[in-house]
Amino acid sequence: DTGVSQDPRHKITKRGQNVTFRCDPISEHNRLYWYRQTLGQGPEFLTYFQNEAQLEKSRLLSDRFSAERPKGSFSTLEIQRTEQGDSAMYLCASSLVTSGGNEQFFGPGTRLTVL
């Protein structure tokens, strides 16, 4: 257990439905990342927050995806009008950025299946 939690762990939905995932990072960490991972691939960057500010968003991320971190603590990732291609593991990570580096602590992930 890294201290980063994600909810739910599994989500099955029908195409066209909206889904929302939650990530609770390690409390003192200032950065929070969202990644997507498909079978046999490494995590693919989606977006990240520095405190409550969303600083970067992948060009690959469609307008159907939105993320928030309203109080600089937990974060939500919403996917609207889900498509079968959205089926993947969604990983959240947090880090405390220092001059020494940016070690990321990952949550267990939310596995999304779009039928």
Partner 1 sequence: SQQGEEDPQALSIQEGENATMNCSYKTSINNLQWYRQNSGRGLVHLILIRSNEREKHSGRLRVTLDTSKKSSSLLITASRAADTASYFCATDARGQNFVFGPGTRLSVLP
Q: Which residues bind partner 1 (CB under 8 A)?
A: 2, 4, 33, 35, 40-45, 48, 56, 58, 91, 93, 101-109, 111
CB of 100 to partner 1, least distance (A): 8
| CB closer to partner 1, 61 vs 72 | 61
Bridge partners (DSSP) listed for residue 93: 33, 106
Q: How many other C-beta atoms can be found within 10 angstroms of the C-beta atom of residue 52?
A: 13
CB of 104 to partner 1, least distance (A): 7
CB of 56 to partner 1, least distance (A): 6
* Residue 15: C-alpha distances to residues 38, 43, 100 (Å): 18, 23, 44
